[in-house]
Amino acid sequence: MPVKAAPAKAAATSAGGTDKMEDALKAALEKDGVIADSLAFAEQHVFDHAALIGVCKSLSSAQNIATENLSRTVVQLSEEGLQCAQHGSPEVRVFALVPAGDGILETELMVAAGAAGKVGMAKAVQNKWLEVLKEDAPADAAPAAEGAKKPPAIKRVKRAVPSVTDSVQAQLKVVVDARGAESALPAEELALLKKRNLLAVVTLKSVKVTPGPTFETWGQKALADLTHEMLVKGTWRGAVFKPLNLDAAGKPPTGGALHPILKVKTLFREIFLQLGFEEMQTNKYVESSFWNFDALYQPQQHPARDMQDTFFVSTPSETLKIPPDYLARVKATHENGGAQLGEEFNSNSTGWQYDWSEEVTRQNLLRTHTTAVSSRTLYKLAQHFRKTGVPVTPQKYFSIDRVFRNEALDATHLAEFHQVEGFVIGENLSLGHLMGTIADFYKRLGPEFAEMKFKPTYNPYTEPSMEFCCWHPTLNKWVEVGNSGVFRPEMLKPMGFPDGLSVIAWGLALERPTMIKYKFKDIRALFGHRIDLNMTRAHPIVRWT
C-alpha cells in the first residue's frame, strides 16, 4: 500500500458499485477463505475503503461474512511531503536555482522558485548553504520613495557551499519504501519531519473478513422468525434462517425492581411465619411516651428520653387515650414497685423511687423502637386473660417496621431505620430459650450469619439483657445486629400477667443484615437520600440458603 496523503471524502457509492464490491468479496473468500486486510483489498481493486466498510457491515449483519476489527499506526505523507519525496525538498530546489559564482538577485530567485521559494530560502540560509549580500543599486535606479536621495539597496543570493545533499527527500523515500512503518526512521528525524508538516502519524482502521454462518446462501435474505403461514404452506423448507444466539442476554424487564431492604424484609417475614410467629400491627409511627417508655418500665429521667435521642411531636404534643387503671398501676410501679396494688399487680420491686409525672408520659413522639408495639400487644393479651380467666398459652409475635432516633449519621447508623421486633410468651422461659431462638433465626439466613457473639448489656425493661453481633466481611469487624432480654416483672405485673409467666424478646436490625448479605460498606448508600435508585436493577441477585 503506497504511502500517500489522505484522499478527499468519497462520493456515495452507487448501487452498481455496491454489487461490484459484494462480488469481489465473495470471489476472494471463495478463493482464499480470508481477506486479511480490507485496506489492501480496497487498494488492489481500486475501491473506496469507506464504501467497502459499509458493504462489509451490511453483509455482516446478514451473517454472510464475519469481520474482525484491525487497527495499526502508520506514517502518512502530506501533500507537501509527497512533493518533497518526488521532486526534492524546498531548500535543495532553491539551492539548485542559484548559479555558482555571482549568484542571483533575490527577487529573481523568488520568482523562479515559486511556492517553494520562501520556505526553501529560509531553510537554505539556516543550513548555511546560501548567503544573502546587499549591493548598491545601479545609478539609474529609481529612489525607493518620493523625496529619497538614494535608490534602495538590492540583495544578491550566492552559494556558500559548492554542493548539498537532500537528506529530507531521502528520509521521505525511506518512509515510502517502508510502507509507512513508524520504525523506519529514528524518532528525532521523524519529529523534525512532523514539525515541518511533511508527514503525520495516523491510525488506520480496517477489518479482516472471513466467511460467516450464512456464507453458503450468499444473496438470499435470512429470516429471523418461523411463522405460522410458512409452516402451513411449507415455504420454510427453502428458506434461510438467521442463526440463534443462545448466549444473548434477555431484554431487561420494563417493570420495577425490588430494593434490597424489601427483599430481606420479605425473607424475615417468611422465616418468622415458618417458625409459627404471628405478625403485630405497626401502623403507629407517632406514639406516646407512655407506650414507648413508661409501659416498658423505663424511668422518665432515662437519657434515651432526651431531645438528643428522641424526636418529640409538637402538634399534637400530648395523647389523651391511655387506660386510666393501667396508667395508675404503671405510676405506682415506677415510684415504689406497686406494693400498694395488691398481690395481683405487685412486682415485688422497690421501683425507681422518684415522683412519676403524668404530663411527661402523655408526650407524643416518633417511636424510637418497635418494642412499643410489643407493649401494646402484651397489654391486650393480659386484658384477655383477666376477662376470660383462660390461661395464656405459649404465643409468638413479630413486627417489622420503621423507627426514628435523633442520632448522628455514619456508615452504620441512621436517624430513620427498620427494626425487627419479636417476643415469645410462655411459662419458665429463660435466657437459653432466647439465645436458641435468635441463633435458629439467623442460621436460616445463610452461612454468613453462622458466627454470632452474645454479650451482656443493660436494658431498663429486660433482666437479664444481652446484645448479639455478626461478623461483617466487608467492614472486617463485628457489627451489632440486635438487642434482647427477658422482660422484667415490673413491666409484666402492672399489665395483669400472673406469676410464672415470662416473656423473652429481641429487637433486630434490618439494614445491617442487608449490608452483610449485599456487601454494602455504608448504610447511607442502602437507605436514605443518598441511594442510587438504579442500584435496585444493577445489583446482583443474592441467594439465601
User: Of 158, 188, 217, at which residue does a domain stop?
Assistant: 217
pLDDT higher than 70, residue 377 = yes
Q: What integer is the mean pLDDT of 143-164?
A: 76
pLDDT of residue 309: 80
How much is the pLDDT for 217?
77
H-helix or E-strand spanning residue 483: strand 477-487
What pLDDT is recorded for position 1?
46
5-19, 270-284, 301-315: least confidently modelled range:
5-19
Res 8: pLDDT = 42
Domains contained in the chain, number: 2
Give the residue-averaged pLDDT of 191-219.
Answer: 88
**Residue 444: is its pLDDT beyond 80?**
yes
Report the pLDDT value the prediction gives residue 146, as an integer from 0 to 100: 59
Which residue type occupies 293? Answer: F
The per-residue pLDDT for 422 is 93
Q: Which residues pair with 468 in a beta bridge?
A: 454, 482
Higher pLDDT, 217 or 382: 382
Same domain, 325 and 463: yes
Q: Is residue 272 part of a domain?
A: yes
Task: Taking residues 64-76, report their average pLDDT.
Answer: 89
Angle (CA) 214 217 222, round 5°? 65
Q: If pLDDT is split at 50, 70 and 90, which confidence band does 388 have?
A: confident
Is the peptide bond prior to 316 cis by the omega test (within 30 degrees of 0)?
Answer: yes
Q: Does 235 fall in a domain? A: no
Span 184-208, average pLDDT: 90
Whether 323 and 209 map to the same domain: the answer is no
Q: Do 519 and 463 sit in the same domain of this protein?
A: yes
Q: What is the pLDDT of residue 333?
A: 92
Q: How confident is the model at residue 15 (pLDDT cuts 50, 70, 90)?
A: low
Position 394 confidence tier, pLDDT thresholds 50, 70, 90: confident
pTM value is 0.52
| pLDDT reported for residue 6 | 44
Most confident of 292-301, 410-419, 436-445: 292-301
- Residues with Cβ within 8 Å of 384's Cβ and at least 6 positions away in sequence, in order, are 390
For residues 211 and 351, membership in a common domain is answered with no
pLDDT at 307: 61
**Is 500 a domain residue?**
yes
Domain range for 213 is: 18-73+204-217
Residues 287 and 386 in one domain: yes
The backbone torsions φ and ψ at residue 314, rounded to the nearest 5 degrees and listed phi first, read -85, -35
* 286 and 212 co-located in one domain: no
Asked if residue 426 and residue 289 are part of one domain, the reply reads yes
For residue 451, the model assigns a pLDDT of: 79
Judged against a pLDDT cut of 60, whether residue 227 lies above it is answered with yes
470 and 337 together in one domain: yes
Q: Which residue(s) pair with 156 in the sheet?
A: 105, 133
Give yes or no for residue 445 having a pLDDT over 90.
no
Instruction: Specify the range with the lowest mean pLDDT, choosing from 239-253, 456-470, 530-544.
Output: 530-544
pLDDT higher at 49 or 532: 49
pLDDT of residue 290: 94
pLDDT value at residue 7: 47
Asked if residue 266 belongs to a domain, the reply is: yes
Domain check: are 340 and 212 in the same one? Answer: no
DSSP at 449: G
**Dihedrals φ, ψ of 259, to 5°?**
-70, 145
Structure confidence at residue 341 (pLDDT):
86
| Position 225 in a domain | no
- 23: domain CATH number? 1.10.10.10
Task: Name the residue type at position 170.
Answer: A
3-class secondary-structure state, position 492: helix
- Answer yes or no: is 154 within a domain: no
Say whether both 213 and 302 belong to one domain. Answer: no
All three cell numbers of 409: 449519621
Whole-angstrom Cα distance, residue 507 to residue 406?
A: 18
* pLDDT of 4 above 80: no
The listed range with the strongest mean pLDDT (159-173, 209-223, 336-350, 400-414) is 159-173
Partners of 506 in the beta sheet?
422, 484
Residues 209 and 300 in one domain: no
Which residues have C-beta within 8 Å of that of residue 7, sequence separation ≥ 6? none
Domain boundary among 159, 183, 217: 217
Share of the chain above pLDDT 70, in %: 90
Please tell me the predicted confidence (pLDDT) of residue 19. Answer: 87
Query: Average per-residue pLDDT in the chain?
Result: 85
> Which segment of 120-129, 347-356, 397-406, 533-542 scores lowest on mean pLDDT?
533-542
Share of the chain above pLDDT 90, in %: 39
Mean local confidence (pLDDT), 491-517: 87
Mean pLDDT confidence for 100-125: 90
- Whether residue 437 is contained in a domain is answered as yes
The pLDDT value given to residue 127: 92
Name residue, grid cell 475503503. Answer: 49
CA atoms within 13 A on the CB side of 214: 20
Query: Taken in order 179, 185, 191, 195, is the CA torsion positive or negative?
Result: negative
279 and 211 inside one domain = no
Instruction: Place 35 in a pLDDT band, splitting at 50, 70 and 90.
Output: very high
Domain end, chosen from 217, 250, 272, is at 217
**Which CATH number does the domain housing residue 480 bear?**
3.30.930.10
Backbone angles phi, psi at 505, to 5 degrees: -145, 160
Q: Three-state DSSP class for 171?
A: helix
Residue 147 resides in a domain:
no
